[in-house]
Amino acid sequence: MPPLLDTLVLTCTRSSESADNQQLEKSQQAGILDASRSGHKLSKNSTILRRKAYAKYKTVESVLELIDLHSEFESRYWETFHCCETIEVQGQYITGRYCGNRWCRICGRVLTAKLIQAYKPALSDFQDPWFVTLTIVNVTESELAPAIKKMVRTFNTINHKFRQNRPYRIFGIRKIEVEPSEHKGEYHPHFHIILESNCVAQALIQEWLLSNPTADIRGQDATKCNEGSLAEFFKYTTKPVVKTKSGGPLEKNHTAYQLDVIYRSLDKKRIFQPIGIKKAPVNENIEGIRAQKIPDLKFLQLKECEIWTWNQKAKDWISLFGDRLSHYKMNKELPGYIPTPGYCRRN
């Protein structure tokens, strides 16, 4: 494997949880987190448990805003709310029920790992990979789904043209991504593509602009891949927090509604599409996931299967005996307390 791609794949594996990990590390450095339990000092492997707990906490926190919208996806948001709500621990294995939804941080971490493994063989053949962004003008809610279909159709036409009339073909991976715009009611659909060379990247941008006369040339970009490029590529289909030009986040309710529109517009769409390359089979819907091996669970010394239930107030899974599973604890109470799943406010 070329040195650059070897670094990209390894870094992407480590960076699949980067957003959660950075926030977790900041909290630890600030002294907000207490990672001890009954005098037990967690080993390095316990970060897996803490990251899983952090992902679960942030997922519940955000999905309740989506549930309150009462959209047609409300039942699926409730599935995410209950994702890994109760888990079984036996030996070094955790078994739970996963929701399989793209907006779930827990399932998203699993999907990222699966995608890396699926595309790793193809990426090893890329000698000079480039990260390309193709955009169109912002669209309204009613225009979003048709715009995505048109973008896919336009790209397929360009790809066919390359195969028929160009001295080189397109080899790479294409991803659909949509972000809420800071302008209320507008959305920003775009493609991210990993290609094998700069000459193909530049030719693709030219063809894209010819096929989309209203697209702004400043919105198109081709950058030589680095560690961060590949990590960003596999990380998400829409950013959970959108910044305004002034640097502040969008209003919470505004963002929740727009995220719901985006999730519905991308439903049953193929987010990642290989172009001219083969990949190992991977199911983007994360079906069939049950057990996860976590080496540090051996410190619990459980001889029999034990049930642990998520408690949002405690930010952890709690056993019948009141023990914490991940040792992930916030000493400072966060605003907006959310009831535990047993007392949730389902209407």
Q: Tell how many helices (H) and how many strands (E) occur in the chain.
A: 9, 13
SS3 content of the chain, % helix, strand, coil (to 5): 45, 20, 40
Please report, for residues 66, 105, 258, 264, 283, the alpha-carbon distance to residue 72 in angstroms, rounded to integers and kept in the order given. 11, 21, 14, 9, 24
Taking 50 as the threshold, does the pLDDT of residue 4 lie above it?
Answer: no
Residue 278: predicted pLDDT: 85
Kindly give the residue spans of alpha helices, DSSP state H, lying in 124-191.
Answer: 141-165
For 157-211, write each residue's pLDDT tens digit: 999 999 887 777 899 999 999 998 877 789 999 999 999 999 999 999 999 999 9
How do residues 12-57 score in pLDDT, each as one tens digit?
434 444 444 454 444 444 333 333 333 344 444 467 788 889 999 9
Q: How confident is the model at residue 333 (pLDDT cuts 50, 70, 90)?
A: very low
Q: What's the confidence (pLDDT) of residue 9? A: 39
146 alpha-carbon distance from chain centroid: 24
Counting Cα atoms < 13 Å in the Cβ hemisphere of 261 gives 24
As a whole number, mean pLDDT of residues 104-125 equals 83
User: In this predicted structure, what is the pLDDT of residue 31?
Assistant: 35
What is the average pLDDT score of the chain? Answer: 77
Residue ranges per domain, the chain? Answer: 3-113+287-343, 121-275
Does residue 274 register a pLDDT over 80? yes
Residue 114 pLDDT grade (very low, low, confident, very high; cuts 50, 70, 90): confident
